[in-house]
Structures are given as C-alpha cells and as structure tokens.
Amino acid sequence: MKKKIALMLGSAMVLASSVQAGPACEYLRNYVALQPQSGDELQMQDEDGACRVQNGQWSAGFSSMLLAFDELVLRDEGLASYSEQQEIPDSMGLRISGIYVLTGLLPGQDYIMRLQAKPMDFSLAYKWDSASAQLSLEQARLRSQHLREVRVQAQFGVESAVGRALGADDLEQAELKSLNLYLDNQNLIQSMVMPAVVLSMSMHEDPRPAIEKALLAARSAVQLMPDSVADRDSRDALLAFIAQLPAPHGRLSLEMNMDPSWPVVRLEPGVSVDQARKLLAGLSLQARFDTGQVPAAYVWLRDHLRYGLHLFSLGRAEASN
C-alpha cells in the first residue's frame, strides 16, 4: 500500500512539474539538445518568467567539441505562442554566463581545460514585428575579462515575411537599416576573428600579403568617404583603428544608418566597386576610437549607463507613438 502511495505521489509530482513548466523551459527541452555536465539530470527550473539552467553543455555541431556553461537564462517572453510550424521565435531574451569549450570525450583533458578556461558571457535579445516587417536586434553581446567585449545592435527590414512568422530563408532577404557596434578589444580579434580569416585562405601560403592588401583597400575606402558619409573625426577614428589591425587595442564605437537599406546578401566578400559605391551612397556613420587606458570598473559603469539611457529613450519613443 505504501509503495502504491509513493508511486502515486511521485507521478503527481512529475505531472505537476511538467504542467508548471514555463514556455522557455519547454522550448529548451523540446528544441535544444542541452546535456548536464555531470550526472543524469539537467538542472533546469522556472523562476521569475524565465528558465534557468545550471552546469549544462551543448554540442557545437562540428567535431566532438562541446560548449559548456555555468548558467543559462532564457526569458519566457516570445515563446508562449511558439509552435513547431515556426522556425524562429518572434522574440527572445537569452543570457549565458561562464562559457568554455570541452572535448566531451577525454575526462582528463576536460578537467585541465576547465582549470585553464577563460570563460565568456553571451547575451542576445531580439524582437520580430510581423506587421511592420521589422526585425530589431536589441543586443548581441560577447564579453570576457580576457577578450573584453563586442556589442552589436541592428535594425532589419524583411518585407518577404510581412504579416507572418519569420523563417530561416527570410533572413537571406533581410535588409540592414542601421547598425551600432561597440568593440572594446584586447584579444578578441586576435583570438576569434583573425583565425577564422586565415582559415578561409590557403594554409600553405603566407596570409600576410592578402591581409595587407585588404587593409590597404579599407584605408583607401575610408579616405575617399565624403563628408556626407562621415565627418573628419569619424574618418580619423576609422583610420586609427585600421592602422592597428590585425591586433588593435582600444575601444571602437560605430553608428551606421543606411538609406536605402543594405540587402544582407550583398554584404558578402567579393562586392564589386559599383556595388560598393551604391551601398556607400546612402550611408551615414559616426565613429570614435579611444586608445587611452581606462579602468575596467569605469568602462563597465559607463557602458551600463549608456545602455540604460538607450533603453529609456526607446521606451519614451514607443510611449509617444
């Protein structure tokens, strides 16, 4: 009798937990192949309109490498109406802290990799408005003490998906309307960007001539920018940044607006001179590049105040509309 009661209580608890699971936890369970770093059960719980996962890992999709993390928080907003017919949720708020790489095969090597890891934090927030066909990348941010920080905000128009949910194929038809980039580089470009650039070339050839050629083309393009595109201070900032590539040390802030907007498919390598001229015709940008040594605490406080003021201005604009 006691065993039957225990089984009934256990079943009721499992049923209750599945009923109470919020949309974010349901999305992670059904569509994201997360695994626990140790043990048999993933540490996942609902709290404050979000799903919190601790000490998990995810297959990167290539080789056997795993992306491990200390904590993942996914907001419920935008996932309540998500269905299997959708490819992309209408909105998402994601934060992952303590990201590092493991082999997933060699426990001894994974132990050493954990000890030597320099964890990164990543956050993503976006919203899709089907009525206006506007995709707002509110923030994509990658940060670590070793690499420092890169942060991107952007606005896209996707007319092919007006009035319906956004699909993966629709992203190829997206047009970039504005882009804000903040890069506080210490080792990020050297550790992540340049290896990808070199891997895209032949590993049997010296990549330096091709890189120097690309940097020369970038310098020439900036020097030829008219004042209607970028003022002198912005051009000088871009030239100072390019001069330090491929290993810059400083903080680059870039604000770009495109009118007409830029088709994403034209932003791939190999753009012709005529296409580049057309893209630049409606471009306006402001750039700032600071190389002075600023205390990390000051940078953190300044950036969070700027971001808070930006969100406040967005809220006031929406309220006035």
Residue 8 counted as domain residue:
no
The residue with tokens 């200390």 is: 70
Establish whether the linkage from the previous residue to 246 is cis, with ω within 30° of 0: yes
pLDDT band for 41, please (50, 70, 90 cuts). Answer: confident
> Do 145 and 222 share a structural domain?
yes
Residue 12 counted as domain residue:
no
Residue 187 counted as domain residue:
yes
264 alpha-carbon distance from chain centroid: 17
In this prediction, residue 312 carries a pLDDT of 65
* Amino acid symbol at 63: S
Last residue of a domain, one of 96, 117, 138: 117
The phi and psi torsions of 129 (rounded to 5 degrees) equal -110, 105
> Do 206 and 138 share a structural domain?
yes
Beta 175-185 vs 250-263: how paired, if at all?
Answer: antiparallel
Of the candidates 235, 229, 241, the residue with the CA atom closest to the CA atom of residue 290: 241
Per-residue pLDDT averaged across 52-62, rounded? 81
Tell whether the model's pLDDT for residue 210 goes beyond 70: yes
188 alpha-carbon distance from chain centroid: 14
In this prediction, residue 241 carries a pLDDT of 93
pLDDT band for 239, please (50, 70, 90 cuts). Answer: very high
In this prediction, residue 274 carries a pLDDT of 67
> Do 276 and 147 share a structural domain?
yes
Residue 308 counted as domain residue:
no
| pLDDT single digits (tens) 159-177 | 988 988 888 888 888 999 9
d(Cα 221, Cα 165) in Å, to the nearest integer?
A: 38
> Do 243 and 177 share a structural domain?
yes
In this prediction, residue 93 carries a pLDDT of 93
Q: Which residues contact residue 191 at a Cβ distance below 8 angstroms, ignoring those fewer than 6 apart?
A: 147
Residue 175 counted as domain residue:
yes
Going by the DSSP 8-state scheme, the letter that residue 82 receives in this structure is -
d(Cα 229, Cα 267) in Å, to the nearest integer?
A: 18
Last residue of a domain, one of 89, 117, 145: 117
Per-residue pLDDT averaged across 119-147, rounded? 91
> Do 134 and 282 share a structural domain?
yes
In this prediction, residue 128 carries a pLDDT of 93
d(Cα 51, Cα 47) in Å, to the nearest integer?
A: 6
> Do 171 and 91 share a structural domain?
no
For 125, the enclosing helix (H) or strand (E) is strand 120-129
213 or 301: which leads in pLDDT? 213
Of the candidates 192, 81, 177, the residue with the CA atom closest to the CA atom of residue 142: 192
> Do 236 and 148 share a structural domain?
yes
pLDDT band for 147, please (50, 70, 90 cuts). Answer: confident
| pLDDT single digits (tens) 298-318 | 556 666 676 666 566 655 655
Residue 243 counted as domain residue:
yes
> Do 206 and 76 share a structural domain?
no
Runs of H (alpha helix) within the chain: 2-20, 23-31, 107-116, 188, 194-199, 208-223, 232-244, 273-281, 296-320
Of 64-73, 96-105, 190-199, 252-261, which has the strongest mean pLDDT? 252-261
pLDDT band for 57, please (50, 70, 90 cuts). Answer: confident
In this prediction, residue 31 carries a pLDDT of 86
Contact 303, 182 (CB under 8 A): yes
Residue 191 counted as domain residue:
yes
Per-residue pLDDT averaged across 20-45, rounded? 84
- How would you label 89-117 residue by residue, b for 16+ Cβ within 10 Å and e otherwise? bbbbbbbbebbbbbebeeeeebeeeeeeb
Last residue of a domain, one of 63, 86, 117: 117
> Do 247 and 164 share a structural domain?
yes
> Do 280 and 136 share a structural domain?
yes
Radius of gyration for the alpha carbons in the chain, expressed in angstroms and rounded: 23
Residue 5 counted as domain residue:
no
- Report the number of distinct structural domains present in the chain: 2
Q: Which domain holds residue 37?
A: 22-117
Instruction: For residue 154, give both structure tokens.
Output: 């952007």
- The CA–CA distances, whole Å, from 72 to 66, 82, 143, 208, 242 equal 15, 20, 15, 39, 35
> Do 188 and 112 share a structural domain?
no
> Do 40 and 147 share a structural domain?
no
